[in-house]
Amino acid sequence: MSTETVSQPVPRHVAIIMDGNNRWAKRRGLKDYAGHRAGVEAIREVLAAFQDAGVRTVSLFAFSSENWRRPTAEVNALMKLFSNYLDSEIRKLKEDGVRLRFIGRRDRLSKSLLTKMDYAEQSTRFNRETSLNIALDYGGQWDITQAARNLAEKVKAGELAPDEITEERLAEQLSLAHLPDPDLCIRTAGEHRLSNFLLWQLAYAEYYFCDALWPDFDRDQVALALQSYADRERRFGGRLDASPNDNNNTKGQNLA
C-alpha cells in the first residue's frame, strides 16, 4: 500500500475582512483601543501561519472608506495604531521577505502616516517571498470607479476606443492588478457580507465565515479556514475538470 501523501490545494491569495475588535474589547471590559491593538497584534501570527502554509499573498481590510464615520477619537486611535505597526513590524517584514503595499485613497491620510507608508513600500519592494497588501481608506466601489475614470481618460485622449474597453482592460486599472485575484476570502466575527471590499476581485473567490473575533483568530483558525478551502471544488462557472486539486485560476502569480 502506498504511503504517499497527497498535498491539499492551498490558495495563492487570501483576502481577510478583520472584524470583531470592538466586541473583543467589550467582552473583557476594555476600551475599544485595546481591541484594535489586540487586532493589530494578531496580524503577525496569522501572516506567519499563512506563510508556513504556502500562501503567497495576503490582503487585509484594515480601514474602509466608510470607517471615517466612526467617532473621531476611535479613528485617531486607529491611525496611531497603523503608524505604530509600521514602526514595530517593518524590520521583521523585511527579514521575512514580505513585500508590503497599501491600496486605497491617500488624500485623506496624514503626511506623517503617508511618509511611513512610502518608506515601508520602498524598503520592502525587492522582497519576493510574500506579498502583504493592506487596504487603508479603501472601498471596492471607489476602486471600480477609479478604474472606469482611468479608461475614460484614455478614451478622451484618443488612446482607446470605447468598444476596446473589456473586462480585462478594466481589471488592469484596479488595485492589486499585478496580483492574482483572491482565491479565498475570510471574514471573522460572525458577519456574512463583503462590506465593499475588493468587489471586482472577489467575484470567484471562495468565502469562509467564522464566529471567532479577529483578535482570537490564530493558527488553529487559519488551519480551519484552509481546510475548508481544500474541501471545496472550484469550477469558475464551468464543469469540474479531471484534476480537482488544481484549484488555481489562470491568472499568473507576480509579486514584482
Per-residue pLDDT of 135-181, as tens digits, reads 999 999 999 999 999 999 999 999 999 999 999 999 999 999 989 99
Give me the pLDDT at residue 191, please.
Answer: 95
Mean pLDDT computed over 49-53: 97
Grid look-up 503567497 returns 56
pLDDT at 1 over 90: no
Q: CA angle at residue 102 from 139 to 216, to 5 degrees?
A: 80
Q: Is 67 a catalytic residue?
A: yes
> Average pLDDT over the chain, rounded to whole?
91
Question: Does residue 228 register a pLDDT over 80?
Answer: yes
DSSP state of 236: T
Question: H helices of the chain, where?
Answer: 21-27, 32-53, 72-95, 111-123, 140-156, 167-171, 219-230
> What integer pLDDT is reported at residue 256 of this predicted model?
45
Write down the H helix ranges in 64-175. 72-95, 111-123, 140-156, 167-171
Q: Cell 468587489 belongs to which residue? A: 199
| C-alpha span between 52 and 124 (Å, rounded) | 19
**Given CA atoms 224, 229, 233, 237 in this order, what sign does their dihedral have?**
positive
For residue 104, which of 17, 204, 13, 176 has the smallest C-alpha distance? 176
pTM: 0.89
Q: Which residue out of 21, 67, 118, 163 is catalytically annotated?
A: 67
With a cut of 70, say whether residue 58 has pLDDT above it.
yes
Contact between 233 and 206 under an 8 Å Cβ cutoff? The reply is: no
Which entry of 19, 137, 143, 183 is annotated as an active-site residue?
A: 19
- In the predicted structure, residue 246 carries a pLDDT above the cut 90: no
Query: Cα–Cα distance between 149 and 131 in angstroms, integer?
Result: 27
CB-based contacts of 171-175 (< 8 A; 24+ apart in sequence): 171/147, 171/200, 173/146, 173/147, 173/148, 174/143, 174/144, 174/146, 174/147, 174/200, 174/201, 175/103, 175/104, 175/135, 175/138, 175/143
Q: What is the pLDDT of residue 234?
A: 82
